[in-house]
Structure 1
């Protein structure tokens, strides 16, 4: 046989092999295809935000915001969704959670597999020239009557502008008007959540404790900082109550820059070193400047008791008469004005104490809280543990989880953020009110607001209907709104005799309420109807008048 004949045989056998392999492949399902899910939509809104205009850095007021919309979004014009605001960490941008950690794929999978409710996820851009805003308004006075936003009003941006933009542009459950009744306010905040990682975790905790009327749940992943402390020594923990900046913090900044206290030239070149080496090479120093730009911007208008109580950077540069006051000087001493009067009020423990005293109620009393941190996170772990213990001392119900790594992957930084999204989104989904099934029974009466005078009898007939004709069970529960947010819940149907509810069957019932002296005020009654499998609720208000 000639040499060419061998090649013909070889080519024929090769062709036969290809056919066999092709036929074999058609009999197997493609595992990659089997793991795909219907995709949601990741929208980008680019807006000029008023609260970020005119800052001393010259940072742009036009910022992008990612809005994740779940699979099927827009197919039903009447469908409304809960929303999660997710805040990025230090030195990151709005696209961080998706481009790095693929939150869209995680949300698509969990929603399609019905492990979580469909929800919107809003991811704003709060990056600044110093790496991060700490979600704070950095206002500084330039004379007796005028102030400027030194780095931008990022608290106002999240709380006012962005919230109004999302409420007005997307179908979000609940509506909040100026004179909204408590029932509407409760529905509004329960359908809104805030979370974040690192600096974003700090921002989520801070904004939720300042504005609890807007959020029903918080998730803080490795929040940093919670306390302005370092290390685990007794000195540092006691330092929460002292006026000095923790020595560990000062030491780590000097060590990171490679010079000893007293070297003034090296001290004032710290920021140049950050710019040269990068924020990830000098994280403690970089964050110190970012926090100072948010917490202690400098103005010559502020007069200090002693000249040495200020340590200013950037004055006379592009910021003109403005600058940044660090809470430490070149010798490692605490700058008391910056530390005591400007920084410490942003410490979450101190802020929570202050707000609780002002309002007579802990702001976290009615908010679902989730915190986590990696067991090898050298930045956040100590502080998160301290804050967890502090919430325990206050009796604030919350969930804290400390997770471990495996193999060569240590549990620190954002190494496991993609994995943590499963728990975070499930937590918020559980906190959001459950969607009412279309086949669930519905309460059709009573509606609106009711009034009753002290000593009078209020009788309300309750009616429900079920499209399937199933038998129904009715119930009722009272919630007393002494102030906003709800201070406590009481159930007079169980512990008093002045309110009764009778279920007559067939979707009919009667609420009888004879208010007592201590029950003057506004009440919300939550009626629930169930067919044994599905259920729905309706809220009405009852005002007890003297």
Structure 2
């Protein structure tokens, strides 16, 4: 009787998948390369023209040499870097670990994920075109896509390309996506910033901006001061005003009204009606934010209403959370399955 039980136990062991006993999930690989951006050449801030780019290759990529993959371009947020998102530097998120979990469990079809290092002198370019920060919109939508298609086994058509991002990257996603449906067919915005005007700046905040006199002072500035400097670099550049090469942010103790007009014109909601035809071409549009992440949660609700008015299909959710505490979970359970559903695999 004991021998029969032992034999049955051995058969169970032999027939049970190895991963059930704690083996790590199948793992993809990460490459960190440099990609030259002609569109970044000559930027007045002196930002790199060969930014680092982190690329996640799914588990089967190096085993199935003839297989081609859809690609998601994932844009990081303000003051972040690709190194932080891909585990090279300790951060609040590790994208390859999340992707490995999703793909090894079969929760989504495998895809390549690409993230450029978009950190600039001011903290971020908002993925816009600017003589001061560089033409980041062009770099992402044209040069980076072309490079990845030439050097990796991608499915080089819009139907197989997605664009996503968090915070500043979410803003960059809708900015670039609505302008380039011929390049990206699906977009997903994670807690996107900068959709609407409304960030009133106190006298104290304006004084902090005025206190930044040299580029070296930027590193010492607080977060919101850096945001204002980055807005100016991206949206109100001025090649005649060194050392920041932007229009004056503060005039007579108040926010420069001419500059504020330029900033507001670059917010997504005021201009979205101009891109409805392009958005209607999208295969998939998704966005979400935590309910404690204000004013972002309120702004994506307006975006939801606008798209509803135009009868543009999309997914929208306001979940319990703040700006960063559930982003990894959202990528795992929402964003990657969203692209798995919407990106073509052939």
**Structure 2 length as normaliser, TM-score?**
0.85
Unaligned runs of 5+ in 2: 1-16
Partner residue, 1:71? 59
Count matched residues: 326
> Do residues 415 (structure 1) and 335 (structure 2) align?
no
Unaligned runs of 5+ in 1: 1-28, 139-148, 175-187, 231-248, 260-265, 301-314, 405-410, 436-546
User: What SS does the aligned partner of 2:72 have?
Assistant: strand
Q: Once the 2 structures are TM-superposed, how far is the Cα of residue 387 of structure 1 from its aligned partner?
A: 2.1
Which residue among 117, 131, 137 is the counterpart of 1:125?
117
Partner residue, 2:13? none
Distance in 2, matches of 1:396 and 1:330, equals 45
Partner residue, 1:407? none
Cα distance change of structure 1 residues 377 and 77 upon mapping to structure 2, 3 Å threshold = same
Partner residue, 2:318? 402
> Do residues 168 (structure 1) and 156 (structure 2) align?
no
The answer to which of 80-89 and 57-66 deviates more is 57-66
More helix by share: 2
Cα distance change of structure 1 residues 386 and 272 upon mapping to structure 2, 3 Å threshold = farther
Contact 1:194–1:218 (CA under 8 A) maintained in structure 2: yes
Cα distance change of structure 1 residues 362 and 159 upon mapping to structure 2, 3 Å threshold = closer
Partner residue, 1:116? 108
Cα distance change of structure 1 residues 157 and 416 upon mapping to structure 2, 3 Å threshold = same
Q: Once the 2 structures are TM-superposed, how far is the Cα of residue 62 of structure 1 from its aligned partner?
A: 2.0
Partner residue, 2:268? 348
The answer to which of 376-385 and 149-158 deviates more is 376-385
Distance in 1, matches of 2:190 and 2:85, equals 12
User: What SS does the aligned partner of 1:133 have?
Assistant: coil
Which residue among 294, 306, 310 is the counterpart of 2:234?
294
Distance in 2, matches of 1:285 and 1:32, equals 50
> Do residues 228 (structure 1) and 197 (structure 2) align?
yes
User: What SS does the aligned partner of 2:182 have?
Assistant: helix
Distance in 1, matches of 2:172 and 2:185, equals 15
Contact 2:108–2:340 (CA under 8 A) maintained in structure 1: yes
Distance in 1, matches of 2:216 and 2:201, equals 16
Work out which of the two has the higher radius of gyration on C-alpha atoms and give 1 or 2.
1
Distance in 1, matches of 2:20 and 2:225, equals 45
Any idea what the Cα deviations from partners look like across 1:268-315, whole Å, max 9, x if unmatched?
Answer: 215679947855xx3322211101101101145xxxxxxxxxxxxxx3
> Do residues 426 (structure 1) and 333 (structure 2) align?
no
Contact 1:88–1:96 (CA under 8 A) maintained in structure 2: no
Cα distance change of structure 1 residues 155 and 328 upon mapping to structure 2, 3 Å threshold = same
Cα distance change of structure 1 residues 347 and 72 upon mapping to structure 2, 3 Å threshold = same
Partner residue, 1:331? 253
Any idea what the Cα deviations from partners look like across 1:405-435, whole Å, max 9, x if unmatched?
Answer: xxxxxx2121211111111101111112356
Distance in 1, matches of 2:19 and 2:264, equals 54
Cα RMSD of the aligned pairs, angstroms, is 2.7
Distance in 1, matches of 2:229 and 2:122, equals 7
Contact 1:274–1:285 (CA under 8 A) maintained in structure 2: no
Distance in 1, matches of 2:52 and 2:218, equals 27
> Do residues 38 (structure 1) and 26 (structure 2) align?
yes
Partner residue, 2:201? 250
Cα distance change of structure 1 residues 117 and 31 upon mapping to structure 2, 3 Å threshold = closer
Which residue among 134, 148, 155 is the counterpart of 1:152?
134
Distance in 1, matches of 2:35 and 2:278, equals 35
More strand by share: 1
Partner residue, 1:105? 97
